[in-house]
Structure 1
Amino acid sequence: MRPTMMMRSGGGGEVGKHNNFIGNWGNFGGLKQKGIVTYGISMNRQNPLAGTFHDAIFNTWRRFSGQVLYWAPPAIAGYYIVSWAIERNEYLNSKAGRAEFADSE
């Protein structure tokens, strides 16, 4: 006996018979899967912060050492340029600086 059109279209046949393995619309329960193994651990046996501080220290060092050559030289050069400019400005606005460059303006 051949399945009817209703059973071919998934409209109400038994799950597992007549190539109907998913279930009806809205009821996609299907057959139980075989060969899938899941493991679990009790909530009071877990340690969610295990190795957090150790990993944070070494991961931070790894990321810092990988990026330090990109930002440290420009930061050091910028610091020395700004400090030179501040010292030069203070000298030019001092009594000795005004006396030295008074005739150039």
Structure 2
Amino acid sequence: MHPTRVLLSGDEAPVNKYGKYVNKVGWGNFGCVLPQRGVITYSMSPNRQNPLAGAGRAAVFNTWRRFSTQVLYWAPPLVAAYYAMKWADERNEYLNSKVGRTQPGDSE
């Protein structure tokens, strides 16, 4: 039998099937004084919760761990790019100076 037929027929569904439980047979009709078994509810009072417990310490050590594993991938290209740009700036200043313009063998 399909659950929709049981629920639409008006007959009471078997206990523990199709959303029918021992304590909730009908609206306001408690079928038994025994507590419901097999339904577990977890809760914690708000004053027992500490959502930021250890966040500062974890942030420092996790940041250091991630930095130390990745620094060798991005630091050498960054240093190479810095020195290449520094050399290019110095070379540009030299070539655009009076001495650089009079340098022999430079024809444009």
> Given the two structures, how large is their TM-score scaled by the length of structure 1?
0.69
The aligned runs of 1:12-23 (5 Å cut-off) are: 12-16=10-14, 21-22=17-18
Aligned length, in residue pairs: 92
SS in structure 1 of the partner of residue 102 of structure 2: helix
- Is the 1:15–1:31 Cα contact (8 Å) retained in structure 2? no
Change (3 A) 1:67 1:30: farther
Percent of counterpart pairs with the same letter? 55
SS in structure 1 of the partner of residue 14 of structure 2: coil
User: Over residues 40-62 of structure 1, what are the superposed CA-to-partner deviations in whole Å (9 max), with x where a residue is unaligned?
Assistant: 22102211211110111111112
Counterpart check, 1:88 vs 2:88: no
Change (3 A) 1:104 1:58: same
Unaligned stretches of 5+ in structure 2? 23-35
Letter in 2 for 1:9: R
* Larger RCO (CA under 8 A, 6+ residues apart): 1
User: Over residues 34-89 of structure 1, what are the superposed CA-to-partner deviations in whole Å (9 max), with x where a residue is unaligned?
Assistant: 33433322102211211110111111112222222221111111111111100110
Change (3 A) 1:7 1:60: closer
Q: Which runs of 4+ in 1 moved over 3 A?
A: 5-8, 32-39
Mean CA deviation greater in 38-47 or 87-96: 38-47
**RMSD (Å) for aligned C-alpha atoms:** 2.8
Q: Matches of 2:75 and 2:39 in 1, distance apart?
A: 52
Partner of 1:25: none
